[in-house]
Amino acid sequence: MLTRDERPYCRFLRDEGYNYPSIASRIGCSERQARHACDTVRIMPQKNKTGRRPNLTPKRLDKTLRSVERHFVYP
């Protein structure tokens, strides 16, 4: 697995004209890892967003707040 510093370096070497075997030997990884790091769209891997997405849109929030205001008696 490549580190965060090695991924941009791998892409830089590829842009400079190096082939995958030479990139892999310079970085110290497999040729497949070098190829994958150069071909992916995102250089830095992103953490997957987990959990449930909020169901309350701004329109539904306004409707809910109006309903609460009608039924709640302020002291």
Residue 10 included in any domain: yes
Calculate the CA 36 to chain-centre distance: 16
Per-residue pLDDT, 58: 86
pTM: 0.56
Per-residue pLDDT of the chain (75 residues; tens, 9 = 90+): 888 889 889 999 999 999 999 999 999 999 999 999 888 867 666 677 777 777 788 888 888 888 888 877 766
Structure tokens belonging to residue 25 = 């030997």
Under DSSP, is residue 59 helix (H, G, I), strand (E, B) or coil?
helix
Domain count, the chain: 1
Residue 22 included in any domain: yes
Residue 18 included in any domain: yes
Domain span at residue 20?
Answer: 1-45
Residue 1 carries which side chain, given as an amino acid letter? Answer: M
Q: What is the CATH number of the domain that holds 23?
A: 1.10.10
Residue 16 included in any domain: yes
Per-residue pLDDT, 25: 95
Query: How many other C-beta atoms can be found within 10 angstroms of the C-beta atom of residue 46?
Result: 6
Per-residue pLDDT, 40: 81
Structure tokens belonging to residue 5 = 């510093």
Q: Are 25 and 48 contacting, i.e. CB atoms less than 8 angstroms apart?
A: no
